[in-house]
Structure formats: C-alpha cells, structure tokens
Amino acid sequence: MKKLIFVFLIASLGYGQDFLGEDINLMVDQQLRIKELPSDLQRYGYDNFFRNIQMTRKFACCRNFNSRYEKLVGLVFIVKQISPYENRSGDILHTLKLEHPTVGVLYYKYDSKSQLPPPFELEEPLNIPNNYYCKDIAVAKNKFTQEIVSRSKFQDGISIMKREKDSLTSLYLSIKTLGVTQVKNKKGVTILLENDHSIEKPQVKLEVVTDTTKQFAYSALVPLTALEVQLLLTHKITKTRLYIFDNSVKNSRKLMDYLKCLTASDSIPLLEK
C-alpha cells in the first residue's frame, strides 16, 4: 500500500519542460543532480538506483524498498554511459551508468515511457544539436495530386503537419487528448503558451472515438496562421484543451524544434485564416 501511495504522490511533482523521453542519449557526459522530494515523500526514498549493472542490489537500501533519501538527495553525478536493454515484458528500457567522486558508480533504471518524472535534473541546460529532431519528420508525396505532406511524430499528444501543393504551404497542429466522458459535435481548441500567450480556435471541430482503454479519444486538426506559427517558434506550449479536456505538455522543446524543421526552408506565405 505504501508503494502505491508513493507512486501516486510522486506523479504530482510533474516533468520539466525539457523532459527527454526516448532521447535520453543526449545526457551522456552531462551532470545531473538528484532532486529534493517534498517532506511528506522523503520517507519513501528513491527508487531504481542500484550498485550493480544487473540492477539486483539497491543502493543504500532500504527504506520502503527504495534507496534512503538522505544518501542521494542533492548529489551531482556524471552520466558516463547509457545502455538499452529489454525487460521480461519485451519493453526497451535504459540503464544509466552514473559516477560520483565519493559514492562511486551507480546504475539507474530508466523507462522513457513512464508516467512518473525522473528524480533528477540537469545541472546545465542541454545543448541539443541543430536539426536534431528533423529525423522524426516523415515526408510523403501523392503521385496523383503532387501534394507533399510532412508530419512530425506525436509528442505529448501533438503532431505538426505541413501540406505543400501548387506553391501553397499550410501548417497544422494535430492534437489528441483523452476524456472520461463522451460528448459529440463539440468545437473549441485552446493552446496555452509560456509567458501568458495563447492561441484560441473556437470554431475547430472535434472528433471522438473510444480507445482500447475504454476512454474517449478526442482529436482536432488546427490550421495555423503565419502569426501563430511565429508565436509557436518563440514560445513553448505548456497545455492544450479540446473543448473541456486538458493535456499538459512535457517536452515542448521537441515540438518547437519540429516546427523549426518544417519551416526552415519556407519562403511562401502560410495560411492567413
């Protein structure tokens, strides 16, 4: 029961705006600091820190099956190596080899698809190479209409799409989120950005289907004006709302880079309305 309480509470800590997800290899040779926990969570300690690469010996064990809080909090490690491995369920996880001058070498089990935030943060902002995320853009050309459609991968329920045909380029956000109730024939999309900016699309229609978890999956295709594109290039997305259903954005940096990739060679007007 204590383990379940810990999982529920730690989820409330949230992710940083630069959460890396599957791009964790960018952290090699970076310094990371173990984050403080709220006072009511400290007694549970930290999970997934091990002394051996087989990850069978918990470091500073044990407090509620985890490493003791006071043995890790505030320590700064260097990420020496990141190695993928397959668990018993067939999922691909990663082992982070961490090094500290007095603690020595530890191994951290990292799941890029976990809904929980990692217990560390980078000491310095990550220097992501230019065009690094352009590899996630898929481009397809319709042989009959000659239309070219470029799409980014989905990140936090958002994909960016570019359509090119007859010297006209248009950009869209494809947004998805889940809702616990079903509503039909609804409209309205709100995109919240940092620094109190927002994009309002009250006339955009929503689609809804039932997903495999018996929840209702809402989606919307949002056309962007030239002004809105410039706003998204300079201000990170923090949250989206489809009608009344909200979704938080963890890795807005990646979305911003996707948009940079899609607009880098554009010299023609975007949609004006």
pLDDT digits (tens, 9 = 90+) for 63-102: 778 999 999 999 999 999 999 988 888 888 999 999 999 9
pLDDT at 116: 74
What backbone torsions phi and psi does residue 101 show, to the nearest 5 degrees?
A: -60, -30
141 and 117 inside one domain: no
185 and 137 inside one domain: yes
Please say if the pLDDT value at position 204 is more than 80.
Answer: yes
Q: How many distinct structural domains can be found in the chain?
A: 2
Confidence of residue 115 (pLDDT cuts 50, 70, 90): low
Task: Report the b/e string of 216-232 with b at 16+ CB within 10 A.
Answer: bbbebebbbbeebbebb
- Domain boundary residue among 122, 143, 177? 122
118 and 136 inside one domain: no
pLDDT digits (tens, 9 = 90+) for 125-174: 777 787 888 989 999 999 999 999 999 999 999 999 999 998 899 999 99
Average pLDDT over residues 186-195: 95
Q: Which of 50, 29, 45, 30 is nearest to 95 (CA)?
A: 50
* CATH code (residue 181): 2.60.40
136 and 118 inside one domain: no
**Cα–Cα distance for residue pair 117/119, rounded to 1 Å:** 6
Confidence of residue 273 (pLDDT cuts 50, 70, 90): very low
pLDDT at 10: 37
pLDDT at 21: 64
144 and 251 inside one domain: yes
Average pLDDT over residues 105-109: 96
pLDDT digits (tens, 9 = 90+) for 26-38: 889 999 999 999 9
Please say if the pLDDT value at position 270 is more than 60.
Answer: no
Tell me the sheet residues that pair with 158. Answer: 155, 175
107 and 182 inside one domain: no
Q: Decide: 47 and 41 in contact? Cβ < 8 Å.
A: no
Portion of the chain with pLDDT greater than 70, in percent: 87
- 138 lies in some domain: yes
**Cα–Cα distance for residue pair 116/206, rounded to 1 Å:** 29
Q: What is the mean pLDDT of the chain?
A: 86
pLDDT at 126: 78
Choose between 251 and 193: higher pLDDT: 193
Please say if the pLDDT value at position 245 is more than 80.
Answer: yes
User: Containing domain of residue 113, as a range?
Assistant: 2-122
What backbone torsions phi and psi does residue 163 show, to the nearest 5 degrees?
A: -115, 130
